Amino acid sequence: MPTIIITSPSIITAQGNKPKKIEEYFGRINSKTESVSIAKMKSPAGWVESGQCPEFDEYTVVLKGVLRIKTKNETIFVKEGQAVLISKNEWVQYSSPFDEGAEYIAVCLPAFSPDLVNRDVGEEMYK
pLDDT at 71 over 70: yes
pLDDT band at 127 (very low <50, low <70, confident <90, very high): very low
**Per residue in 79-117, pLDDT tens?**
999 999 999 999 999 999 999 999 999 999 999 999 999
Q: Residue 39 sits in a domain of what CATH number? A: 2.60.120.10
Is 65 part of a structural domain of the chain? yes
Average pLDDT rounded to a whole number, residues 121-127? 56
**Per residue in 1-10, pLDDT tens?**
777 889 999 9
Is 106 part of a structural domain of the chain? yes
Is 4 part of a structural domain of the chain? no
- The tally of domains found in the chain comes to 1
| Nearest of 61, 50, 40 to residue 93 by alpha carbon | 50
**Per residue in 33-49, pLDDT tens?**
999 999 999 999 999 99
Is 3 part of a structural domain of the chain? no
pTM: 0.91
**100 vs 65: CA distance, rounded Å:** 6
CA angle (91, 97, 99) in 5-degree steps: 155
Containing structural domain, residue 25:
10-124
Instruction: Report the pLDDT value the prediction gives residue 118, as an integer from 0 to 100.
Output: 96
Is 1 part of a structural domain of the chain? no
Is 28 part of a structural domain of the chain? yes
